[in-house]
């Protein structure tokens, strides 16, 4: 009896190994039932795998994320999930509709290989395949082109078509970019349509620019709108509802609370780089001569938080300014430094009489000195400095040159941002009358609250006492809460029901337009 049982088991195993009870794979069953076509019941997974691998190899060069696509299908045994799940349900047709209307976002539908996808869909739907092996290259190509188009469409809308950090040298905002885990999850989603609907930009700014783009007839206007739609697609850091924005082309600082504007004021930003900057930079790299070094004072784009206010600030003069300006002024006028309240340090020790330095002995590209301008009315930073963490030594500050705010083009600073109404800005930052009056006293302004007059009178008395030396020093104040700050660059945006346009002061539009060329 035991031998008989063993014989039965052996026969079953042999029959199974020969494939006598083999069931068609999922794709075969689905297509056979959908088309009522028996040839798909003979779908050979091994033969299809070979065709799929060759198709993937041939298409990979044209894919944006070939490694991610390869990883997804390797993990899923090369199963044509896009066809199995979404061709039958009609969602592949919906994908085509979304791709067809991608022009509403400024994309050229051709970048998604839409015509090839349409042709493959039509060929499969015609149900005229006579032998199942004829379907393998068709299904493989439809699967892969659809997956690639689906990924690209989602990524372009969610993150933008270009990474600004790759094309702008002074773009320090850490925008989010697509990652392989997110894309693999997207490929494994249960509903293409749901994902495609969810990825549509929802910001009011984007929608307003998009509406203007769809109704504009002027090519240049459409170009500007498209560029700024792309900027609003970039996945920026979360600012929260209460934040400060400096828009460089607008020369404006705006404090937003929800959708409301708390305060708004003019700013002066860094001057644009010299014409022919790239070529001059190459010449400087070869010669090493500072005379060949081109000027670039453009204010960087960045995201940070304002964490402190310095009243009566000291200006730590950057090496670049010391070399290009301070050095020459000191050589021209031996009293320039003392008259400008600029202290000179050698090996971090203060030089008592900088007027005696023989500047002709030193080369400006190897200056052994550091320069600091002391607190006071002549300080280039004015009476206030607003500080936030960043790698570019950039900050917002007051200025003793108020005439700059009357200019139409206010790209005139060395890179930092000069604010028109520093006192008003400081009041908003500190957030309470007690701290604000202390701050006012530091810059010799009477308190708003008369009960705080004691501080003010004490300070003014100390300054007036000729028997003692009064030294003006920086005073530090903390904001009530660190306030997010974003320095950004928009040449078009929606405001009060219309689109505002500003000149491309740093010529960044042209560079972005070139980078987006293949997507248009």
167: CB partners within 8 A, 6+ apart: 511, 512, 515
What are phi and psi for residue 491, nearest 5 degrees? -100, -5
Instruction: Enumerate the H helices of 374-489 as residue ranges.
Output: 422-430, 433-442, 453-464
Of 509, 462, 460, residue with least CA distance to 221 = 509
Please check whether residue 417 is in contact with residue 267, taking contact to mean a CB–CB distance below 8 angstroms.
yes
| From 105, 268, 297, 416, active-site residue | 416
Q: Are 136 and 45 in contact (CB under 8 A)?
A: no
What are the residues whose beta carbons fall under 8 Å from the beta carbon of 67, sequence distance 6 or more?
180
**Strands across the sheet containing 369-373:** 315-316, 369-373, 342-346, 349-350
CB 140, CB 78: distance < 8 Å: no
The answer to whether 414 is a known catalytic residue is no
Q: Which residues pair with 483 in a beta bridge?
A: 306
- 3-state DSSP assignment of residue 253: strand
- The DSSP code for 388 is E
Has 452 been annotated as catalytic? no
Return the bridge partners of 500, or none. 493
Give, in order, the Cα–Cα distances in Å from 155 to each of 143, 150, 162, 186: 18, 9, 10, 10
Count CB neighbours of 291 within 10 A.
8
**Residues 105, 268, 297, 397: which is the catalytic one?**
397
Catalytically annotated residues: 397, 416
């Amino acid at each position: 009896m035991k031998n008989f049982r063993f014989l039965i088991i052996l026969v079953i195993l042999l029959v199974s190994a020969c494939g006598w009870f083999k069931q068609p794979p999922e794709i075969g069953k689905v297509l056979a039932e959908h088309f009522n076509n028996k040839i798909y019941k003979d779908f050979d997974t091994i033969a299809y795998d070979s065709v799929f691998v060759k198709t993937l190899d041939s298409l990979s060069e044209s894919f944006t994320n070939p490694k991610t696509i390869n990883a997804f299908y390797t993990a899923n045994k090369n199963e044509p999930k896009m066809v199995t799940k979404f061709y039958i349900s009609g969602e592949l047709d919906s994908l085509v509709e979304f791709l067809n209307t991608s022009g509403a976002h400024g994309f050229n539908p051709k970048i998604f290989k839409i015509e090839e996808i349409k042709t493959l869909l039509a060929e499969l739907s015609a149900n005229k395949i006579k032998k199942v092996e004829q379907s393998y290259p068709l299904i493989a190509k439809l699967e892969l082109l659809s997956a690639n188009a689906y990924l690209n469409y989602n990524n372009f809308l969610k993150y933008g078509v270009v990474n600004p950090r790759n094309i702008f040298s002074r773009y320090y905002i850490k925008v989010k970019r697509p990652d392989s885990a997110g894309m693999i999850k997207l490929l494994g989603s249960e509903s293409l349509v749901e994902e495609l609907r969810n990825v549509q930009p929802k910001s009011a700014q984007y929608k307003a620019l998009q509406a203007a783009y769809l109704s504009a007839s002027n090519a240049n206007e459409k170009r500007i709108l498209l560029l700024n739609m792309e900027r609003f697609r970039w996945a920026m850091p979360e600012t929260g509802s209460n934040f400060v924005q400096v828009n460089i082309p607008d020369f404006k600082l705006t404090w937003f609370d929800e959708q409301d504007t708390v305060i708004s004021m003019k700013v002066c930003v860094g001057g644009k780089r010299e014409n022919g900057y790239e070529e001059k930079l190459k010449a400087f790299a070869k010669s090493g001569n500072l005379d060949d070094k081109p000027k670039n004072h453009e204010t960087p784009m960045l995201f940070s938080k304002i964490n402190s206010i310095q009243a009566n600030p000291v200006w730590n003069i950057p090496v670049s300014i010391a070399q290009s300006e301070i050095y020459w002024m000191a050589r021209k006028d031996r009293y320039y430094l003392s008259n400008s309240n600029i202290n000179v340090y050698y090996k971090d020790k203060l030089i008592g009489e900088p007027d005696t330095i023989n500047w002709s002995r030193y080369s400006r590209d190897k200056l052994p000195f550091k320069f600091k301008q002391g607190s006071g009315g002549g300080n280039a930073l004015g009476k206030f400095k607003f500080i936030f963490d960043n790698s570019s030594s950039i900050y917002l500050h007051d200025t003793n040159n108020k005439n700059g705010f009357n200019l139409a083009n206010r790209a005139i600073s060395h890179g930092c941002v000069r604010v028109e109404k520093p006192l008003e800005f400081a009041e908003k930052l500190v957030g309470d009358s007690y701290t604000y009056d202390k701050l006012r006293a530091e810059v010799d302004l009477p308190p708003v609250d008369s009960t705080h007059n004691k501080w003010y009178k004490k300070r003014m008395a100390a300054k007036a006492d000729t028997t003692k030396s009064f030294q003006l020093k920086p005073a530090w104040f903390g904001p009530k809460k660190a306030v997010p700050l974003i320095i950004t660059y928009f040449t078009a945006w929606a405001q009060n029901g219309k689109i505002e346009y500003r000149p491309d002061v740093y010529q960044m539009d042209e560079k972005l337009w070139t980078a987006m060329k293949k997507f248009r």
